Amino acid sequence: MNPTIAQKSPFVLPMKIGRYHWCACGRSTGQPFCDGSHKGTEFAPKTVDLTEAKTVAWCGCKHSKNGAFCDGSHAKL
């Protein structure tokens, strides 16, 4: 099963130090983060611990080879 493409570009957000749960299924209404919409599917969120505040390009297409982070895969979809 392929994930749902939430958007064909990254979610670029300023982030604080903390633990985040990135949506891997693409179904969450709170993109790019998990809201539990994956329940009943083979998908599970990816936990990301940020140890410093920074701007993050979260994958929006759900096809990145770099986990939760954008690697430009959306350009090939």
Say how many domains are in the chain: 1
Per-residue CA distances from 2 to 19, 25, 26, 39, 71 (Å): 26, 8, 10, 15, 18
Rounded-to-integer distance, Cα 58 and Cα 30, Å: 13
Lookup result for tokens 């939430």: 6
Q: What is the mean pLDDT of residues 67-77?
A: 97
Instruction: Using the predicted structure, report yes or no on whether residue 57 has a pLDDT greater than 90.
Output: yes
Q: What is the mean pLDDT of residues 21-48?
A: 98
- Residue 41 structural domain: 11-67
> Which pLDDT score is estimated for 64?
98
What's the CATH number where 53 sits? 3.40.5
Please report whether residue 76 resides in a domain: no
Please report whether residue 6 resides in a domain: no
> Which pLDDT score is estimated for 59?
98
Please report whether residue 4 resides in a domain: no
Instruction: pLDDT band for 19, please (50, 70, 90 cuts).
Output: very high
Please report whether residue 40 resides in a domain: yes
Cα torsion through 76, 33, 21, 25, rounded to 10: -50
> Which pLDDT score is estimated for 18?
98
Instruction: Using the predicted structure, report yes or no on whether residue 1 has a pLDDT greater than 90.
Output: no
